[in-house]
Amino acid sequence: MAGGGAAAARTAAQADTAHADWLSVRVFTDAGDTSGTGDTPGPRPLPDPDGGVRRHLGCAPDGWLLVRPDGYLCARGSALTPEDLRPALDAVRGLRSARSGA
């Protein structure tokens, strides 16, 4: 995931907390920020100092991406808000439930 501003940071933190059992939240950073690594709770930084990763993936400056563990980009949005993120997470959660037989 990537996002800018305090509202996006709150949304990323909420997603990390609410779905910690199956979702690994990463937040693009412009610098080599390593806060949030190790045993500290919260989204982990993903350094992208020149924005190359974001550009390659077609991520808007304040946008977000939902990437499966196999690298498949399954959803994206132009702003990281709960209203935009929820349907994508619900769809992934539905697929997970169907696969596990729950």
What pLDDT does residue 63 have?
86
What pLDDT does residue 93 have?
79
Domain span at residue 79 reads 5-100
Q: Is the pLDDT at 17 greater than 90, yes or no?
A: yes
Q: Residue 61: which pLDDT band, with cuts at 50, 70 and 90?
A: confident
- Angle at 48 (CA atoms; ends 75, 82), nearest 5 degrees: 35
What is the value of pTM for the model shown? 0.74
In sequence order, which residues have a C-beta less than 8 Å from that of residue 18 and are 6 or more positions away? none
Please give the average per-residue pLDDT across 16-44, as a whole number: 78
Please give the average per-residue pLDDT across 32-36, as a whole number: 56
The whole-angstrom separation of Cα 80 and Cα 11 is 7
More confident residue, 30 or 33: 30
Domain count, the chain: 1
